[in-house]
A and B are shown apart, each in its own frame.
Chain A
Amino acid sequence: MPTLTIDDQQVTVDQGTTILDAAKKLGISIPHFCYHPRLTKVDACRMCLVEVKDAPKLVTSCSNAVRDNMVVFTGTPKVEEARKSILEFILINHPLDCPICDKAGECKLQDYYFRHSRQPSRFKDYKVKKHKVVDLGATMVLDSERCVVCSRCVRFCKEVAGEENLGIFNRGDHSEIGTYPGKKIEHNYQGNLADICPVGALTAKDFRFKCRSWLLCKVDTICPGCSNGCNAVVHFTLRSFDGIKGQRVFRLTPRENNDVNKIWLCDVGRWGYSFIDSIDRLTTPALKKGEDFVKSDWDTVLRETASGLKTVVERYGPSAIGVIPSPHLTNEDLYALKCLFSCVLKVTNIDFKLPGLDKGEGDKLLLKADRHPNTRGAELLGLSGTGLSAEAMMEKVKTGEIKALYLVGSDPVKYIGEKAEEALSRAELLIFQGTNFNASCKLAHVILPGATFVEKEGTFTNYQGRLQRINKALEPLGEAQADWEIFTRLGKRLGSYPSYKYAEEVFKDMAREVAPFTGLSYQKIGPQGIKLTLPEGKS
């Protein structure tokens, strides 16, 4: 293990570590464009030059491995001069229109210019004009003029996404990125190109021109797109009016987690946030009057729901109630649901496993076939197999043995089809609690609006049994409330129920009651999540 000195600080690192990585370990950041921790090293930009004692010239820190007793300087005048020159060189043909560029504010070139260069252009000739607004595929747009030809995108497609379709064409200052003739980028990881492109050359159509990066607030979350549980950051705005009217969440970007998603995010999850602010969000509690839904208030609908459930239990017993939750809910929501239905109302017919729930299309890298973030959590909480299955419930609803059906974010019509539709329309009491309008919601008698994953605290358990936290970024839209909160309010009306005020309280109770969560707390889960010790035969 070589020990070296970087800027008068000693550090011991593994054999073969690059100078840049070693410096990172010390908290010294060396400017770079082409280096990416998860891609091969290519030495393309020369931004990362540092001075090594006794070396004849400056060396690229991204590709040179450390040696024992090496002495490195990252901030000498010589290094600064080199950075300044490299930047000037890159900026010769750069359009310098940061105000229009979508990357401004999070652009490496912009940052480095302000940190290391800050000189007016000395270039008097005409700039090389290249292609602008080049369509690279369904989701990405390229601006060749802004490209610094770091080749990160080329390497990403080849090495990570496994799809060789990008290349560098022409030479010298005419070099341009492009797709091979007749090809487009098609893989499921295109969004990452916008993240790894150090400048504003590659932008995602979804985000392009919608909002400026500096107007966005960021909160750590977990992508709800599939059961992989990729770590993500949600970018949202609190300003009343930004870009498109009413849009609050603008994008999801990946967060590094070596055990889950490395540093990537797939497109399905990345662009799956639109339901949060979509027009079909349920924002007020509603009751069905005749054919239409009538807006109502929480007190009324909770009263209706509670009295409806109570009547059914009193008249027909708890077996006349069926509950179908969705694995989109957090562990806290599901635990609160379980408390309410199995402990207070003694309902056994609880099943989240609608047929075909896990029949999406997965891939080798991140995306899983099961497109629900918390299937594992629902399983661990025992929300399936205690009573009738969801399908059997449908039959019983049809025959009239089950009178009341409580759907929490689930959509039986989508998964079971016409049979479910017929059944649901025959239910005596159909309660739908969820975030968005759907085919099953259409048949409901009572609608309780729930909060989306960016509007509540909670935890998801991914397919590996890894417990990870989501955080509240925004207030729920309209009058919506977190599902555990709704269950708490409902529980109060139906019997003795703990008065939870925070999701963390629900979690504490859950950690006490449910085996795999024993001894855990939000602090222990931390930002990167924690692997649960699973009972035998379940891992």
Chain B
Amino acid sequence: MKIVGHNLTTKESFYFFEIAKGLWITSRHFIYNMYFHIAHLLGKYPEVPAAVTVQYPEEKVPLSRRWRGRHRINARPDGSPRCVACMLCETVCPVQCIHIVAGEHPDPAIEKYPVSFEIDVTRCCWCGMCEEACPVDALYMDTGKSPEPGFSREDLLYRKEQLVKEMPLPGCQRSLNAPGQGPMEANPLGL
């Protein structure tokens, strides 16, 4: 690592001029923005913005394709989750907020399935590692939704029954096998 030092010049070491410069910049912004705020109130120059703020949730910016929103689980054609309870997401999750109980699936070709699958979004840090870890195209964070507030911790524990019903947001969709995308493609494990 290289430490880049900066020795103050005499003028800078006085602070005063630098402070004045800084104050000038901020007050310039203040005066400019204030002028247009007042102008807007009077119905003038509506095209010149006085602030860059987006008034969420009334206004929304288009989401990036990579935006990580609430989780969802892809479904098999019969509506059951594609998750095979491999617990890779549970393992990789840095905050340990995924809890899976695995069970023996009646179909030996599927073998393993999640008896319960819970994501505790009160803990989730939205890192998206679970999405990347999933080997079977099951877990995605492309719903384009942010977590809704809840009245209890229970409300913020998303279970597989709910996760499997979520749909991807068209612009955000990252999975090949999302519903409404034509025939299902084979998933990497042939499941």
Contacts and interface: CB of A to CB of B under 8 A. Distances in A.
Q: Which residue, of B84, B96, B111, B189, has the highest number of chain A Cβ atoms within 10 A?
A: B111
B109 interface: yes
Nearest to A102: B112
Contacts of B111: 97, 100, 132-133, 143
Interface in B102-118: 102-104, 108-109, 111-112
A215 B189 contact: no
A100 B135 CA distance: 10
Nearest to B85: A209
A244 B101 contact: yes
Contacts of B87: 211-212, 215
B91 A97 contact: no
Interface residues of B, number: 21
Contacts of B136: 99
Q: Please classify the interface of chain B as helix (H, G, I), strand (E, B), loop, or mixed, using the class held by over half of its residues.
A: loop
Contacts of B156: none
A241 B99 contact: yes
B88 interface: yes
B172 interface: no
A303 interface: no
Contacts of B84: 97, 99-100
Contacts of A241: 96, 99
A215 B96 CA distance: 12
Q: Please classify the interface of chain A as helix (H, G, I), strand (E, B), loop, or mixed, using the class held by over half of its residues.
A: loop
B91 A215 contact: yes
A208 interface: yes
A133 B91 contact: no
B121 interface: no
A244 B101 CA distance: 6
A243 B102 contact: yes
B169 interface: no
Q: Which residue, of A100, A214, A240, has the highest number of chain B Cβ atoms within 10 A?
A: A100
B104 A99 contact: no
Q: Which residue, of A99, A131, A210, has the highest number of chain B Cβ atoms within 10 A?
A: A99
Given A96-B189, A99-B88, A215-B87, A208 B135 contact: no
Contact of B102 (A97, A210, A240): A210
A115 interface: no
Contacts of B88: 99
A99 B189 contact: yes
Contacts of B96: 239-241
A100 B91 contact: no
Contacts of A212: 86-87, 91
Nearest to A133: B108
Given A99-B88, A132-B111, A208 B189 contact: no
Contacts of B99: 241-242
Contact of B86 (A96, A100, A243): A100
Nearest to A211: B87
Given A96-B189, A209-B85, A243-B102, A132 B108 contact: yes
Contacts of A211: 87
Contacts of A133: 104, 108, 111
A143 B112 CA distance: 13
Contact of B109 (A96, A132, A215, A239): A132
A214 B136 CA distance: 19
B189 A209 contact: no
A241 B101 CA distance: 10
Interface residues of A, number: 23
Given A100-B86, A132-B109, A239-B96, A209 B91 contact: no
A214 B88 CA distance: 10
A187 to B, nearest CB: 24
Contacts of A240: 96
Contact of B91 (A214, A244, A245): A214
A210 B88 CA distance: 14
A99 B101 contact: no
Interface in A185-238: 208-212, 214-215
A214 B91 CA distance: 9
Contacts of B109: 132
A13 B136 CA distance: 49
Contact of A209 (B108, B112, B191): B112
A211 B85 CA distance: 10
Interface in A351-408: none
Interface in A242-270: 242-245
Contacts of B135: 99
Nearest to B88: A99
Nearest to B105: A133
Nearest to A131: B108
Given A132-B111, A215-B87, A97 B104 contact: no
A461 B113 CA distance: 44
Given A239-B96, A243-B102, A97 B189 contact: yes
Nearest to A97: B189
A355 B114 CA distance: 48
Q: Which residue, of A143, A212, A245, has the highest number of chain B Cβ atoms within 10 A?
A: A212
A143 B111 CA distance: 10
A502 B159 CA distance: 44
Contacts of A96: 189
A209 B102 contact: yes
A241 B84 CA distance: 19
Interface string A143-167: 1000000000000000000000000
17 contacts: A96-B189, A97-B111, A97-B191, A99-B84, A99-B88, A99-B135, A99-B136, A99-B189, A100-B85, A100-B111, A132-B109, A133-B104, A133-B111, A209-B103, A212-B86, A215-B91, A240-B96
Given A99-B189, A133-B104, A210-B102, 15 more contacts: A97-B111, A99-B135, A99-B136, A100-B86, A100-B189, A132-B108, A132-B111, A209-B85, A211-B87, A212-B86, A212-B91, A239-B96, A241-B99, A242-B99, A243-B100
3 residue pairs, one from A and one from B, having the closest CB atoms:
A99-B86, A132-B108, A209-B102
